Amino acid sequence: MVFEIVRRDGLARIGRFQTRAGVLETPALLPVVNPKIFTVTPRELYDEFGFRALITNSYIIKNTPGLKERALEEGLHKLLDFEGTVMTDSGTFQSHMYGEVEVTNEEMVQFQKDIGSDIGTVLDIFTEPYWTKEQTAKSIETTLERMQVACDMKGDMMINGVVQGSVYQDLREDCARRMASMDVDVHPIGGVVPLMEQYRYSELVDVVISSKKGLNPNRPVHLFGAGHPMVLALAALMGCDLFDSASYAKFARDDRMMFIDGTYRLAYMQALDCNCPACRGHTIESLRKLTRDQRTKIIARHNLYQITSELSLVRRYIREGRLWELAEMRCRGHPALLDGLRRLKEHTAFLERTEPISRDGAMFYTGSETRGRPIFKRYADRVMERYVPPTDKAAMFPDGGKPYNRVYGEQFDKAMKAGYTPIVTSPFGPVPAELDEIYPLAQSLFPEITDAETVTESDNLTFDFIEKMGFKEVIEADEIPDGGDMEYDPDVLRAKAIANYQFGIDVADAMFRGKIEIVKSRKTGKIRNVISDGEHILSLRAGDGLYTLRPEGAQRILEKIPSPRMRVIVNDDSVPFVSEGRNAFAQFVLDADDEIRPMEEVIVVDRNDRLLATGRALLIKSEMKSLKKGIAVKVRTGSGDEA
């Protein structure tokens, strides 16, 4: 079993999940197929909709005479006529909802193996949101015991280890952690259907995030029972890789159509404005005139098209590094979802760990919830901790358009000459003039008409910053006195401020020594290279305004800053490859700095702290250490390659 992370955004990942029936690209949704009635046949799901995995219920098969015998004889794939991955559920839900089930966990796991399920499920105990903590804790113990039995029995079938824990975040995290230590292949988050049915999305967010905290990053996470297109972006953002939907068929049988903003009854709809292949050519009247069976078929297909198109969009936004924007837009479609998005802000510290240092495109502000994105916290924390003002007085500027140095060039110069450090009050909080081109300050778009929340937050941050920096005097931009004559080198100040911000003050100090020369682009006038004591230590990227670490700079860090700071340590097998400039793969990583974030500059070293290469981390430490496949560091320059 291998799960490889190909791309990421937020906690979301584009993954490649290898099952014995093939490779599944995640995020993926598995339509639920009722083995007794195919509303849409598995063959159609595969050929027409492109589903490469489905989920069916082994308990129903086992209890249906005829089906049981055929499944045992022919196997599930033949029974269903489906060549993709088949996941089976165990009957937990049936036992829970209808009090049926007189089967044991052993029986169900054995049966799932016998019928050739690719991914079977333990007979877990469904923990309801209204359960007491004691009741929940007790049933988790039973689920964990059963899980151990299931792992011991599974053979070459993969197994779902369902995380339970009702709405208790500590129980969820603990259950997840204990499941993660077992030989489990996929982690569904269970017991969440009632939360989704009752639109309790803020609790869903707590449940998913606390479960994610306990799980290992090397296994796909399945959100059990989530299949409405409206939740997919938010759920993917929280790191759910797999989904399943029974509603596409259930809703269709009740004449209910799924759309991105909700579910609508055919009887109440005023018009059919859908262009999916199932609806094309139909009007609301023509749909209503069909026989019940015909209509169910069309609506089920319509529902599936809504799901697949949203899922494709989610994948695209992950690839483009814009999933936050999609999730925010989707969450504005329903107040309950907006609660979910707002609750996500409570988990910023956890989300910050996987928030990339920069993205390719500009970030868009979609409304006041955007302030909850971890990039805001990242910037505020770093500027507060890592900025060193060049003077002991400050001049405050309003946000008058970007880049600030172009808009305010002369006034900034006047301020500095008079001994005042120019600071712009931006939606991110205070922006010192030297930092105005780094991601996300320059690479972000905000509406010109500001909202009160952003103004308040920004003012608060600026106030704290001024206090922290200990400025003796703070004036407004129009109060800067004329005729100052302080000498300063704006390029060197900028070069150092960016290094402080990006690497931390101690690391920047380790690199900047002796004479500092700045090489600028003749075309743009922007800083390109930083030369210190005659050695090229850093190059500045035009796109995100942040540095690329040169081997000379890396060497200086290794000499002064103790391991594992900024390091990714690889084993001996990997040494010859990485020193030749090949990427460092996760399976060879021995250790890494826990502060490394995706897209961060890192130094790849051997076990003796010898420089092998510099590059950009694609994974964080916990991922590097647990993933068995995939690039940990995209290596730029081997130490032998001094070009």
Q: Does residue 116 belong to the site contacting ligand GUN (CB under 6 A)?
A: no
Peptide bond into 440 cis (omega under 30): yes
Using the minimum distance from each CB to ligand GUN, give the nearer residue, 132 or 450: 132
Which residues contact residue 91 at a Cβ distance below 8 angstroms, ignoring those fewer than 6 apart? 57, 58, 59, 60, 62, 100, 101, 103, 108, 123
Marked catalytic residue, from 9, 89, 185, 339: 89
- Judged by CB under 6 A, the stretch of 14-22, 73-81, 186-194, 581-589 that binds ligand GUN is 186-194
Q: Which residues of 523-552 are buried (b: 16+ CB within 10 A; e: fewer)?
A: eeeebebbbbeebbbbbbeeebbbbbbbbb
Verify binding: residue 224, ligand GUN, rule CB under 6 A: yes
Among 121, 296, 370, 574, indicate the residue that binds ligand GUN (CB under 6 A).
121
Q: What is the closest distance, in whole angstroms, from the C-beta atom of residue 277 to Zn ion in the complex? A: 8
190 binds, among Zn ion, ligand GUN, none (CB under 5 to 8 A by kind): ligand GUN
Residues 86-115: x/- map of binding to ligand GUN (CB under 6 A)?
---xx-xx----------------------
> Is the CB of 125 or the CB of 635 nearer to ligand GUN?
125
Q: Could you tell me which stretch among 84-92, 531-539, 541-549, 635-643 binds ligand GUN (CB under 6 A)?
A: 84-92
Distance CA 285, CA 287 (A): 5
Cβ-contact 266, 279 below 8 angstroms: no
Interface with ligand GUN by CB under 6 A: which range of 189-197, 367-375, 417-425, 504-512? 189-197
Q: Which residues contact 220 (CB under 8 A, 6 or more apart)?
A: 3, 15, 17, 26, 186, 187, 241, 242
* Close Cβ partners of 518 (under 8 Å, ≥ 6 residues apart): 491, 492, 495, 527, 529, 530, 531
| Nearest distance in Å: CB 193, ligand GUN | 5
> Is 47 noted as a catalytic residue in this protein?
no
Burial 160-187 (b: 16+ CB within 10 A, else e): bbbbbbbbbbebbbbbbebbbeeebbbb
Q: CB of 600: closest distance to ligand GUN in angstroms?
A: 37
Any contact of residue 552 with ligand GUN (CB under 6 A)? no
Of 559, 432, 579, 568, nearest in space to 500 by CA: 432
Three-state secondary-structure class, residue 41: coil
Considering only 4, 9, 118, 124, the residue that binds ligand GUN (CB under 6 A) is 124
Long-range Cβ contacts of 452-456 (<8 Å, 24+ apart): 453/368, 453/371, 454/368, 454/371, 454/427
Span from 187-195, 293-301, 446-454, 459-467 in contact with ligand GUN (CB under 6 A): 187-195
Partner from Zn ion, ligand GUN, none binding residue 191, C-beta < 5-8 Å depending on class: ligand GUN
Contact predicate 187/225, CB 8 Å? no
Residues in contact with ligand GUN, counted by CB under 6 A, come to a total of 13
CB of 292 to Zn ion, least distance (A): 18
The yes or no reply on residue 225 touching ligand GUN (CB under 6 A) is yes
Work out how close the CB of 225 gets to ligand GUN at its nearest, in angstroms, rounded to a whole number: 4
From candidates 129, 191, 340, 356, binder to ligand GUN by CB under 6 A: 191
- Residue 277: which region, alpha, beta or left (left: phi > 0; alpha: psi -120 to 50)? alpha
Task: Output 276 or 407, the one with its CB closest to Zn ion.
Answer: 276
State how far the Cα of 521 lies from the Cα of 264, in Å rounded to an integer. 57
| 131 interacts with ligand GUN by CB under 6 A | no
Query: Which entry of ligand GUN, Zn ion, none binds 13, CB below 5 to 8 A by partner kind?
Result: none
Residue 276, contacted partner among Zn ion, ligand GUN, none, CB below 5-8 A by kind: Zn ion
Contacting range for ligand GUN; rule: CB under 6 A; set: 85-93, 311-319, 490-498, 567-575: 85-93
Cβ(516)–Cβ(495) below 8 Å: yes
Q: Is 299 in the site for ligand GUN (CB under 6 A)?
A: no
Cβ(226)–Cβ(186) under 8 Å? no
Which spans of this chain sit near Zn ion (rule: CB under 5 A)? 274, 276, 279, 302
Interaction of residue 193 with ligand GUN, rule CB under 6 A: yes
Q: Are 12 and 239 in contact (CB under 8 A)?
A: yes
Query: Can you tell me the distance from the alpha carbon of 41 to that of 55, in angstroms, rounded to the nearest whole number?
Result: 13
Coil, strand, or helix at residue 550? coil
Per CB under 6 A, residues contacting ligand GUN are 89-90, 92-93, 121, 124, 126, 162, 190-191, 193, 224-225
Residues labelled as active-site residues = 89
